[in-house]
């Protein structure tokens, strides 16, 4: 009686090997098809603000400000310290509580910084960078800058997003919506004073125009402006590292008087700044030294800071501060 062998026949073995080879070829071709699309996408970056409840962001700003009015030129320097605390996040939107400490000096009158004002604010920011600030808060007054595209961006691409400038005048507040045009320039290095870093460089600019429909005392009848900015963004941390913003305005009043005002702003960001009691004491001591002129401010003094002190003393800036 014959015996049936348990070993597969040669034809079955060949068929199995052929099926495996075909399946391997299909898998490899599929992988090649996927990887061929990766080079296009790998060169793109999806920019998003990344904040979590409990995180803090500190922004230190240094402003050089100039006002030209009635033939007189007035220079002012500002130092702003801004602490943003993330209270909650939901649906790609975070609620922040902000503390804005502002210090000012007129270098042609007094070399020391002096405390100006402290502002408190609570507002929302989306992951794209759009702000929602309740009417009762004046800060921040440069809002939704920078804001990002919905889609990933490659080097050289441009996008447009709305932003808001808020001006506080003696006669009231003026809110102006602008449309900032952005362009991504790739990864680049930045350096300011003794600080440096490397991030995604994004540049933007916009024009500003306001024509009042009603006459208010102490508020300009028309406002013309232009802004250009450069931001180095940390895509991993989801916040900027450093920014440089230049603002230029012309304020025209109903009586025909015109004022020109310009801002040159440098800002450095830090994330997860923890303020313990010891940190608060150190912060207070540093502020005392700044006010006393013992610490550098990041702003170089003007060479002609001693000129025309008498004529410029006591002048005030009508448009407030930016930042």
pLDDT tens-digit series, residues 199-256: 999 999 999 999 987 888 889 999 999 999 999 999 999 999 999 999 999 999 988 8
Instruction: Specify the CATH class of 56-312 in words.
Output: mainly beta
Tokens, residue 111? 């070399």
Give domain limits for the chain.
11-42, 56-312
Instruction: Work out the number of other CB atoms within 10 angstroms of the CB of residue 170.
Output: 11
Query: CA-based Rg of the chain, rounded to a whole angstrom?
Result: 28
3-state DSSP call for residue 121?
strand
The pLDDT, as a whole number, for residue 217 is 86
The pLDDT, as a whole number, for residue 308 is 38
**Who's near 10: CB < 8 A, 6+ residues apart?**
none
Catalogue the long-range contacts made by 250-257 (C-beta closer than 8 Å, 24 or more residues apart). Answer: 250/223, 250/224, 250/225, 251/220, 251/222, 251/223, 251/318, 251/319, 252/220, 252/221, 252/222, 252/223, 252/224, 253/220, 253/221, 254/215, 254/221, 257/69, 257/70
Place of tokens 């599929």: 30
The pLDDT, as a whole number, for residue 168 is 92
The pLDDT, as a whole number, for residue 110 is 83
The pLDDT, as a whole number, for residue 177 is 97
Residue among 168, 173, 216, 100 at smallest CA distance from 318: 168
The pLDDT, as a whole number, for residue 108 is 85
The pLDDT, as a whole number, for residue 13 is 44
The pLDDT, as a whole number, for residue 213 is 77
List the chain residues with pLDDT less than 50. Answer: 1-7, 10, 12-14, 17-40, 295-316, 318
The pLDDT, as a whole number, for residue 321 is 64
- pTM confidence score: 0.75
At residue 188's C-alpha, the angle toward residues 187 and 190, to 5°, is 140
């Amino acid at each position: 009686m014959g015996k049936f062998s348990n070993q597969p026949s040669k034809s079955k073995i060949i068929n199995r090997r052929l099926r495996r080879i075909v399946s391997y070829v299909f898998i490899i071709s599929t992988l090649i098809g996927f990887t061929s699309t990766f080079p296009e996408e790998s060169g793109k970056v999806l920019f998003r603000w990344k904040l979590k409840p409990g995180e803090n962001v500190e922004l230190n700003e240094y402003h050089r400000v100039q006002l030209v009015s009635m033939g007189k030129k007035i220079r002012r320097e500002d130092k702003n310290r801004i602490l943003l605390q993330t209270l909650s996040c939901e649906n790609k939107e975070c609620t922040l509580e902000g503390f804005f400490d502002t210090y000012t000096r007129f270098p042609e009158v007094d070399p020391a910084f002096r405390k100006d004002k402290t502002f408190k604010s609570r507002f929302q920011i989306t992951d794209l960078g759009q702000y929602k600030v309740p009417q009762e808060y004046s800060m921040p007054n440069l809002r939704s800058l920078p804001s990002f595209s919905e889609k990933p961006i490659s080097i050289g691409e441009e996008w447009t997003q709305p932003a808001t400038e808020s001006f506080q005048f003696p006669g009231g507040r003026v809110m102006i919506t602008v449309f900032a045009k952005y362009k991504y320039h790739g990864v680049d290095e930045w350096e300011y004073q003794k600080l440096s870093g490397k991030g995604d460089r994004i540049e933007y600019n916009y024009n500003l125009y306001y024509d009042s429909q009603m006459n208010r005392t102490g508020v300009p009848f028309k406002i013309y402006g232009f802004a250009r900015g450069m931001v180095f963004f940390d895509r991993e941390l989801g916040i900027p590292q450093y920014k440089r913003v230049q603002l230029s305005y012309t304020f025209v009043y109903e009586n025909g008087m015109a004022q020109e005002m310009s801002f040159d702003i440098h800002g450095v960001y830090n994330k997860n700044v923890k303020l313990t009691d010891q940190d608060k004491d150190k912060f207070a001591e540093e502020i005392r030294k700044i006010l006393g002129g013992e610490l550098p401010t990041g702003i170089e003094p003007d060479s002609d800071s001693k000129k025309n002190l008498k004529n410029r003393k006591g002048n005030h800036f009508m448009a407030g501060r930016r930042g």
